[in-house]
Amino acid sequence: MISCYFHGTNLHHEKLTVNKGLISFAVPDYGVIFRAQHEGNRYECEYAAGIALIRFMQVNQNHFHGKGIKLLTDSPIVVYQVNNKISATQSLLRFRDLFLFYKRKLGFDLTWIPTKMNRAEMGLDEIAVNRNALKFNFDIFDESTRRKDLTRPANKQAIRIT
């Protein structure tokens, strides 16, 4: 089982205000950590971080094929909405629906963890460097829009890991 962590946050003191944010994910088994700016409110950034991680797994499926995948996040909103414990607000429906699409297609588990255990939120020195690192493709954003659009599946037919 490969554990993959994701974290998203808004850099504005008012977390529901749309502003610049940070999305990150980590795959410690492979020594991978990714960080990028994303514009949105806190919850949009949290969803965007998870979707970026899923896209990373999609474009690097040769490294994830046949392995159980567990996504871990400190976002209770994402976990509970995707696992159908609470309903999604209108503004988050497109993110939740995309996450559900990938979850059905890829069959990963989604679990909540405390922030202090989220490896995607930790400093770079917390992730061990793998000297024999595998080669990964980090081109996870949708090329057809020529911008960082994480709200639509890139190529539905090509999505498979299991």
pLDDT given at position 158: 46
Query: Across residues 115-123, what is the average pLDDT?
Result: 86
Architecture per CATH, 2-158 = 2-Layer Sandwich (3.30)
Closest CA to 34 of 19, 18, 61, 54: 54
What's the pLDDT score for residue 129? 57
Question: How far lies 128's CA from each of 32, 87, 114, 135, in Å?
Answer: 9, 37, 21, 16
What pLDDT sits at residue 83? 92
Domain boundaries, the chain: 2-158
Which residues, listed in sequence order, are joined to residue 110 by a DSSP beta bridge? 71
pLDDT digits (tens, 9 = 90+) for 4-49: 999 999 887 777 777 889 999 999 988 888 999 999 999 999 999 9
Q: Stretch 62-81: mean pLDDT, rounded?
A: 94
For the cut 80, the answer to whether the pLDDT of residue 139 exceeds it is: no
Q: Where does the pLDDT of residue 85 fall: very low under 50, low under 70, confident under 90, or very high at 90 and above?
A: confident
Q: What is the pTM of this model?
A: 0.79
